[in-house]
């Protein structure tokens, strides 16, 4: 009789409760696939009395997760507490020191301490598995670390935050305002406790930092990521994007350039026909460009109890089978420090929307400033005057002007728009959305 893999699980929120449920439902299939049963023997959470709709009777209750992590009765510690600090960090460290492998869904812990923890896991000859930390049920970590181990990847980009994609989808399809869609996302339970973490792009940045490390063999470094959220996007931008053949998504992008690894998170216009543009609602997607093969796009549920539990259990199953990969796909000592590619030198197309003063010479001034920075235009649209604009050529009032540029640099665009502003031919600040071609 083979011995079961004995699991200690800390954190019984939505994901933890789903892990308990799914391991129970899949008991026989898991035993067959792994060659041994997987049994949760002990659990830890803040409240013992809370009704979670799961059966914990056969499991030992250990109130301190750090104690559970080094409990002699467990083989593997599953950390679903969350947060970059303690008790999650202390518990994972304790588990390694006690010779236990760890499975975690904790993106913040990995983004901030991933390398130190990977080093410790390697030193202790145990596994640190974190498929659930990025994109819920989509096997992004395994795809990068194992499935594409023989490929040279040039770019990875994706929709890594369900809340933002839900908001942008609703705004575009239902012509709703940002604030209303955010409230809906919160009501449906997609958003983080502090939704600014989602909408300002920080959740995406933490996930991107993990993917970039796996992709390019660099040390996880969320600080080197340029981050811009979606709160300035208006229904008018989404409408204009649609008319021009694009959709707007919050993307995390990591790309190898001559100047280093460029890592950025920002609202992005993607061609309507691209795979990533088809991804709607809370769904996540990741596109991987590797040399010699057509792009691969993985699409699936990025958040929610069962989606995240699915990845947690696949990581536990690897440990049950005795499979142990280096956490970031190569020994931590070989991970390089990524040279941060400065955003000013980012090259690509741009969508620029501005409110122009409606008088003779405005278009010429804008064109001159763009030409001075060698920016070439793919398209230019001037909207009709509002109902009070009249037909007089002398009439001065603001009119929306939308430009799409060919590939240029961030620096050139910023300089041109700065000059246009100083020329006083536009009102307010222009809206600027980068374009990512497939
Ligand atoms: N708030 C996150 C999202 C949850 O919306 O994608 C999963 O990390």
> How many structural domains is the chain composed of?
3
- 183 C-alpha vs ligand 1 centroid, how far in Å? 15
pLDDT of residue 33: 97
- 173 C-alpha vs ligand 1 centroid, how far in Å? 21
- CATH of residue 108's domain is 3.40.50.720
Specify whether 93 is located in the same domain as 35: yes
- CATH of residue 425's domain is 3.30.70.260
In a domain, 338, yes or no: no
pLDDT of residue 141: 98
CB 358 within 8 A of CB 398: yes
Q: Which among 280, 267, 242, 251 is positioned nearest to 350, based on CA atoms? A: 267
- 135 C-alpha vs ligand 1 centroid, how far in Å? 8
CB-ligand 1 contact for 222 (6 Å cutoff): no
In a domain, 337, yes or no: no
CB-ligand 1 contact for 166 (6 Å cutoff): no
Find residue 343's DSSP bridge partners.
none
Token pair belonging to 80: 């679903």
Listed in sequence order, the residues at least 6 apart from 416 whose beta carbon sits closer than 8 Å to its beta carbon are 369, 370, 372, 373, 375
Find residue 347's DSSP bridge partners.
409
Q: Which among 37, 118, 106 is positioned nearest to 65, based on CA atoms? A: 106
CB-ligand 1 contact for 228 (6 Å cutoff): no
CB-ligand 1 contact for 302 (6 Å cutoff): yes
CB-ligand 1 contact for 204 (6 Å cutoff): no
What pTM did the predictor assign? Answer: 0.94
CB 403 within 8 A of CB 369: no
Specify whether 150 is located in the same domain as 297: yes
In a domain, 178, yes or no: yes
Token pair belonging to 14: 């939505």
| Top mutation candidate among 160, 161, 195 for ligand 1, by most atoms within 8 Å of CB | 161
Specify whether 286 is located in the same domain as 154: yes
- CA of 303, closest atom in ligand 1: 7
In a domain, 44, yes or no: yes
CA 11 – CA 79 distance, rounded (Å): 7
CB-ligand 1 contact for 161 (6 Å cutoff): yes
- 193 C-alpha vs ligand 1 centroid, how far in Å? 10
Nearest residue (CA) to ligand 1, atom 8: 303
- CA of 198, closest atom in ligand 1: 1
In a domain, 283, yes or no: yes
| Top mutation candidate among 198, 284, 311 for ligand 1, by most atoms within 8 Å of CB | 198
- 388 C-alpha vs ligand 1 centroid, how far in Å? 44
CB-ligand 1 contact for 162 (6 Å cutoff): yes
Specify whether 29 is located in the same domain as 132: yes
- 161 C-alpha vs ligand 1 centroid, how far in Å? 5
CB-ligand 1 contact for 108 (6 Å cutoff): no
- 358 C-alpha vs ligand 1 centroid, how far in Å? 43
Task: Tell me, yes or no, if 100 is annotated catalytic.
Answer: no
Specify whether 151 is located in the same domain as 244: yes
Nearest residue (CA) to ligand 1, atom 7: 303
Specify whether 171 is located in the same domain as 106: no
Rounded (to 5) percent helix, strand, coil in the chain: 40, 25, 35
Specify whether 174 is located in the same domain as 99: no
pLDDT in tens, the chain (438 residues): 689 999 999 999 999 999 999 999 999 999 999 999 999 999 999 999 999 999 999 999 999 999 999 999 999 999 999 999 999 999 999 999 999 999 999 999 999 999 999 999 999 999 999 999 999 999 999 999 999 999 999 999 999 999 999 999 999 999 999 999 999 888 888 777 788 999 999 999 999 999 999 999 999 999 999 999 999 999 999 999 999 999 999 999 999 998 889 999 999 999 999 999 999 999 999 999 999 999 999 999 998 899 999 999 999 999 999 999 999 999 999 999 887 778 899 999 999 999 999 989 999 999 999 999 999 999 998 876 655 444 444 555 789 999 999 999 999 999 999 999 999 999 999 999 999 988
In a domain, 168, yes or no: yes
Nearest residue (CA) to ligand 1, atom 2: 161
Specify whether 127 is located in the same domain as 155: no
In a domain, 129, yes or no: yes
Domain span at 424? 344-435
| Top mutation candidate among 203, 205, 282, 305 for ligand 1, by most atoms within 8 Å of CB | 203
Specify whether 318 is located in the same domain as 188: no
- CA of 160, closest atom in ligand 1: 6
Specify whether 118 is located in the same domain as 172: no
Specify whether 43 is located in the same domain as 188: no
pLDDT of residue 185: 87
CA 263 – CA 254 distance, rounded (Å): 4
pLDDT of residue 390: 46
pLDDT of residue 386: 56
In a domain, 147, yes or no: yes
Specify whether 113 is located in the same domain as 197: no
Cis peptide before 87, with omega less than 30 degrees from 0?
yes
CB 231 within 8 A of CB 270: no
């Amino acid at each position: 009789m083979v011995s079961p893999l004995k699991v200690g699980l800390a954190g019984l929120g939505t994901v933890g409760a789903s892990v308990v449920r799914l391991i129970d439902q899949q008991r026989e299939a898991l035993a067959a696939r792994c060659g041994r049963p997987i049994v949760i023997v002990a659990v830890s959470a803040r409240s013992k009395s809370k009704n979670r709709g799961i059966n914990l009777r056969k499991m030992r209750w250990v109130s301190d997760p750090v104690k559970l992590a080094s409990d002699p009765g467990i083989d593997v510690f599953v950390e679903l507490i969350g947060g970059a600090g303690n008790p999650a960090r202390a518990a994972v460290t304790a588990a390694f020191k006690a010779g236990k492998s760890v499975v975690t869904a904790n993106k913040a812990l990995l983004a901030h301490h991933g390398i130190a923890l990977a080093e410790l896991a390697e030193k202790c000859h145990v596994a640190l598995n974190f498929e659930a930390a990025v994109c819920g049920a989509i096997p992004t970590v395994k795809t990068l670390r194992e499935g594409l181990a023989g490929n040279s990847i040039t770019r990875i980009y994706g929709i890594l935050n369900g809340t933002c994609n839900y908001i942008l989808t609703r705004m575009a399809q239902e012509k709703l305002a940002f604030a209303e869609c955010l409230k809906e996302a919160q009501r449906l339970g997609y958003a983080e406790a502090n939704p600014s973490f989602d909408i300002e792009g920080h959740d995406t940045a933490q996930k991107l930092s993990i993917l970039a490390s796996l992709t390019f063999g660099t040390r996880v470094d969320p600080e080197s990521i340029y981050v811009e959220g979606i709160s300035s996007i208006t229904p008018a931008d989404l409408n204009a994007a649609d008319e021009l053949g694009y959709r707007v998504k919050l993307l995390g992008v990591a790309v190898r350039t001559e100047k280093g690894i460029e890592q950025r998170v920002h609202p992005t216009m993607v061609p309507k026909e691209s795979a990533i543009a088809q991804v709607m609602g809370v769904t996540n997607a990741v596109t991987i460009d590797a040399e010699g093969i057509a792009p691969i796009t993985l699409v699936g549920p990025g958040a929610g109890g069962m989606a995240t539990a699915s990845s947690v259990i696949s990581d536990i199953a690897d440990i049950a089978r005795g499979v142990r990969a280096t956490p970031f796909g190569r020994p931590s000592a070989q991970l390089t420090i990524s040279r941060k590619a400065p955003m000013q030198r980012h090259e690509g197309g741009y969508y620029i929307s501005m409110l122009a003063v409606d008088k003779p010479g405005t278009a010429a001034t804008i064109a001159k400033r763009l030409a001075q920075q060698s920016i070439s235009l793919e398209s230019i649209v001037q909207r009709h005057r509002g109902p009070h604009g009249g037909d007089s050529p002398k009439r001065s009032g603001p009119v929306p002007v939308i430009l799409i540029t060919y590939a240029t640099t961030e620096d050139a665009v910023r300089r041109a728009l700065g000059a246009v502003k100083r020329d006083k031919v536009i009102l307010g600040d222009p809206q600027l959305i980068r374009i990512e071609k497939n």
